[in-house]
Amino acid sequence: MDQLFYPKSVVVVGVSERPDNLARNIVENLFEFQFNGEIHLVGRKECVLFGRKVLTSLDQLPDGVDVAVILTPAQTVPDLVDACGRKKISWAIIETGGFREYSEEGGQLEQTVLRTARRWGIRIVGPNGIGITNVDNGFVVPFVKLKKGPVTKGKLSILAQSGGVLLSYANHMISANVGLSKMVSMGNKLDLDEIDYLRYLIEDPQTEIIGLYLESLERGRELMEIACSTSKPIIIHKSNTGEGSREIAKLHTAALANDDRVVEAALKQADIIRTKDFRSFVNAVKILSLPPCKGKNLVIISRSGGIGVVAADSAERHGFRLLPPDPKLQEQFHSLFRAKVIQPTNPLDLGDLFNFDLYTTILEQALRFPVVQGILFQHGATAEEKEPSRKFVQAVRELSLRYQKPVALQYNTDEEELAYIKRALDYPIFTEPEDALTALAISRDYYRRLTTEKSPPLSYPFDRNRVTSILQGASKEKRDLLLPEAMEALQACGIAVAEYGVVHGKENLPQALEKTGFPAAMKVISPEISHKSDVGGVVLGIDSLKKAEETYGKMRATGLGNISGVLVQKMISAGKEIILGAKRDPSFGPVLLFGVGGIYVEVLKETSIRVAPINRSEAEEMIFELRGSGILKGVRGERPSDIDAIIEMLLRLSQMMIEFPQIEGIDINPVMALEKGAIAADARILLTA
């Protein structure tokens, strides 16, 4: 892919002398950013443009031009790609729109382009985008006219599905004085997508931070694997967050785990920073350009006591600990104040102190204190303070780098001065305490995850032959597992289930009840009934053989569907109800779900999600990140539930989804979490079509 980002020659296809010709803007950008390779031009009419002859056919080019940038009507693109193949051009950046994003016919045309490209071994960027920008070598080919002046070379590379969003991010970064390395407008992602570009940027020495804007994510599992393989921070702004399907889900699990919740969990699990808007994206980039925040011990220094209080509230919300000042440090700071009316606490109110050199001294003393892991410095400048403030900002930068601790500088001044500071000084500025503290929290959490060693998932012994036999039997009949089959499959994977027996006739009830005892539950067995309790297919509290016989008769007589039998099951009255589930996500693969509340979990709307396989610490996180998990610890004198048993059940479920790809989804609901152990009381297992 070096050839794409660092070509030695490029041909721009679609240029003309007309001032409104968009391909002409591409050529102007190459000159503006001083592209250091050969530039060829192709258009419909022969002419001279920018001192270069415009050819009328790709066939007039020498063989082996590295990259073709195409901006012509959609219907002309397949033939142009074919011509690129004849001239041994390896890469085509197609900025033309009017393909599948426009119409069904456009989609068919797009597939023709792809088939043609693959026949020649050509890789495609786009279509329907604004191409590539490489600040490092001046290969800048958007069809929007750009200016080199405000763009600085830096360590941030951005991938975006939308050209407009990419330009917006570029403007935000330029405004924040954040340097750029490479930008890619991926467009329709006909050939190359974010995974292909990420693999390159991970190895790119010019890129230290990677940002993505995505509307769709088809290769989520590969994204997680890439993120886990690198120490480079990846920031994602994922939009288009509505539910992927409006159909009624067959499983509780599917209903509870809509697509964006899966994305949220997966990105967190892979240590990818997710932002929801432009502002938080920019703030994340700002803080990650500073040394990492290695813990939650924070000092707030403020020129305004009121703003210091606001910042302290925000710091608490973000999980920071405001260290009480060391007595010697407190005494040292106190000696600096003119009027001894303000006690140097944390937040430290600079109050009546107007000596900016002393600000630098105070900041350095705080940074030298070993337990301090981050600083928020709230600064403000009036007209006569602007010049010394510029010197102070430079001192902040130098001290932050020297002590390798982040100093989030929140600066209040007029817009003109703020714009000057951002342009002139290579240091991120925050405009509000909340922005600065949100960013510091991102740095802290990212560093913690990056430095936490992840243990591999455990592997448990399974009766694989037994499970395979059950799955194959149901698959041959083109159906999902029946209730007793699901319970048997769980048992074969080491997941405890409530004692049960299957009854096909009233005469078998005594034998089944002898096995389960009283009280018992009775449940219909039918491939046609998804949720038995919704249709009267579950009766609890059976306390005698007579009641069991009556219930069996009613179940057989009520026309509940194709009933193949009745499951008689031991009732587990003790314990707390929880739910475990799994489904196979089209992008991320097997996904696990945990919830508290059993049949009420959909009402409580509190569940946790992880992508399988998971390890023990991730299973623990699934449990304890829920507010409702407190009931499992024991409340009001109750004994706590067996957390280790729940963790093991989650790990076994994770392994089950990995080892048996023919399973589409599992719903274990309820699971009774006991003082000793955890037992599945009901289960459904769906198979892939």
Same domain, 422 and 472: no
CA distance 491 to 685: 13
Give a yes or no: residue 281 inside a domain. yes
Q: Is the pLDDT of residue 616 over 90?
A: yes
Give a yes or no: residue 587 inside a domain. yes
CA distance 145 to 24: 9
Q: Please give the single-letter amino acid code of residue 258.
A: N
Token pair belonging to 27: 């050529």
pLDDT of residue 250: 44
DSSP state of 383: G
What percentage of the chain carries pLDDT values higher than 70? 91
- If you search the block for the tokens 């403020």, which residue do you land on? 302
Question: How many CB atoms within 10 Å of residue 21?
Answer: 17
Same domain, 282 and 335: no
Confidence of residue 337 (pLDDT cuts 50, 70, 90): low
pLDDT of residue 254: 44
List the one residue out of 286, 134, 139 whose CA is nearest residue 206.
134
Main-chain phi, psi angles of 364, to 5 degrees: -65, -40
The residues that bridge with 672 in the sheet, in sequence order, are 577, 679
Same domain, 521 and 666: no
pLDDT of residue 554: 86
CA distance 589 to 222: 10
Confidence of residue 352 (pLDDT cuts 50, 70, 90): low
Mean pLDDT, the chain, integer: 90
Give a yes or no: residue 457 inside a domain. no
pLDDT of residue 49: 93
- Find the mean pLDDT for residues 260-283: 92
Residue 483 has, within 13 A of its CA and on its CB side, a CA count of: 28
**Four-CA torsion 121, 127, 130, 131, nearest 10 degrees:** -10
SS3 95: coil
List the one residue out of 653, 645, 648 whose CA is nearest residue 609.
653
Burial class (CB in 10 A: 0-12, 13-18, 19+), 321: middle
Same domain, 589 and 627: yes
- Residues 80-117 pLDDT 10s: 999 999 999 999 999 999 999 888 999 999 999 999 99
Confidence of residue 292 (pLDDT cuts 50, 70, 90): very high
Query: Are residues 291 and 315 in contact, defined by beta-carbon separation less than 8 angstroms?
Result: no
CATH number, residue 610: 3.30.470.20
For 625: left if phi > 0, alpha if psi spans -120 to 50, otherwise beta; the answer is alpha
Helix (H), strand (E) at residue 681: none
- Residues 306-332 pLDDT 10s: 899 999 999 999 999 998 766 666 665
CATH number, residue 62: 3.40.50.720
CA distance 544 to 97: 72
Give a yes or no: residue 140 inside a domain. no
SS3 72: coil
pLDDT of residue 325: 64
DSSP 264-331: HHHHHHTT-EEESSHHHHHHHHHHHTSPP--SSEEEEEES-HHHHHHHHHHHHHTT-EEPPPPHHHHH
Query: Which pairing describes strands 38-42 and 576-585: parallel, antiparallel, or unpaired?
Result: unpaired
Token pair belonging to 364: 């350095």
Token pair belonging to 223: 């994204």
CA distance 199 to 189: 15
Give a yes or no: residue 141 inside a domain. no
List the one residue out of 310, 400, 322 whose CA is nearest residue 363.
400
CA distance 116 to 121: 9
Query: Are residues 431 and 290 in contact, defined by beta-carbon separation less than 8 angstroms?
Result: no
Which range of residues forms the domain containing residue 311? 291-451
Same domain, 244 and 215: yes
HEC states along 420-486? HHHHHCCCCEECCHHHHHHHHHHHHHHHHHHHCCCCCCCCCCCCHHHHHHHHHHHHHCCCCCCHHHH
What percentage of the chain carries pLDDT values higher than 90? 70
End-of-domain residue from the set 68, 98, 129: 129
For 637: left if phi > 0, alpha if psi spans -120 to 50, otherwise beta; the answer is left
pLDDT of residue 247: 37
Same domain, 230 and 370: no
- Find the mean pLDDT for residues 346-372: 86
Confidence of residue 529 (pLDDT cuts 50, 70, 90): low
Same domain, 302 and 447: yes
SS3 212: strand
pLDDT of residue 530: 61
SS3 25: helix
Same domain, 447 and 320: yes
Token pair belonging to 425: 């000084």
Confidence of residue 259 (pLDDT cuts 50, 70, 90): confident
Cβ partners under 8 Å of residue 495, min gap 6: 649, 652, 653, 656, 668, 680
Give a yes or no: residue 77 inside a domain. yes
CA distance 519 to 569: 9
Cβ partners under 8 Å of residue 218, min gap 6: 193, 586, 587
**Of residues 451 and 59, which shows the higher confidence score?**
59
- Residues 477-486 pLDDT 10s: 999 999 999 9
- Find the mean pLDDT for residues 142-151: 93
Residues comprising the chain, all counted = 689
pLDDT of residue 75: 96
Q: 537-548 in b/e burial notation, b at 16+ Cβ within 10 A?
A: bbbeebeeeebb
Question: How many CB atoms within 10 Å of residue 385?
Answer: 17
Same domain, 49 and 180: no
Helix (H), strand (E) at residue 46: none
HEC states along 617-652? HHHHHHHHCCHHHHHHCCCCCCCCCCHHHHHHHHHH
End-of-domain residue from the set 289, 319, 336: 289
CATH number, residue 153: 3.40.50.261
- Find the mean pLDDT for residues 349-372: 86
Same domain, 44 and 80: yes
**In total, how many domains does the chain have?**
5
Q: Which of 5-9, 46-50, 400-404 has the lowest mean pLDDT?
A: 46-50
Query: Are residues 351 and 362 in contact, defined by beta-carbon separation less than 8 angstroms?
Result: no
Cβ partners under 8 Å of residue 441, min gap 6: 318, 319, 320
pLDDT of residue 299: 94
CATH number, residue 475: 3.30.1490.20
- Residues 412-440 pLDDT 10s: 888 888 888 887 888 889 989 999 999 99
CA distance 223 to 248: 29
pLDDT of residue 564: 80
Same domain, 303 and 442: yes
End-of-domain residue from the set 570, 595, 623: 570
List the one residue out of 586, 629, 631, 589 whose CA is nearest residue 606.
629
Give a yes or no: residue 519 inside a domain. yes
- If you search the block for the tokens 């297992």, which residue do you land on? 685
Give a yes or no: residue 142 inside a domain. no
The residues that bridge with 684 in the sheet, in sequence order, are 667
Same domain, 487 and 588: no
Cα–chain center distance at 685: 28
Cα–chain center distance at 556: 49
CA distance 163 to 96: 12
Main-chain phi, psi angles of 114, to 5 degrees: -65, -45
pLDDT of residue 445: 94
- Residues 196-253 pLDDT 10s: 999 999 999 999 999 999 988 889 999 999 999 999 999 999 887 755 433 333 454 4
**Of residues 253 and 54, which shows the higher confidence score?**
54
User: In terms of C-beta distances under 8 Å and separation of at least 24 residues, what long-range contacts does 239-248 make, across chains too?
Assistant: 239/213, 239/214, 239/215, 240/215, 240/216
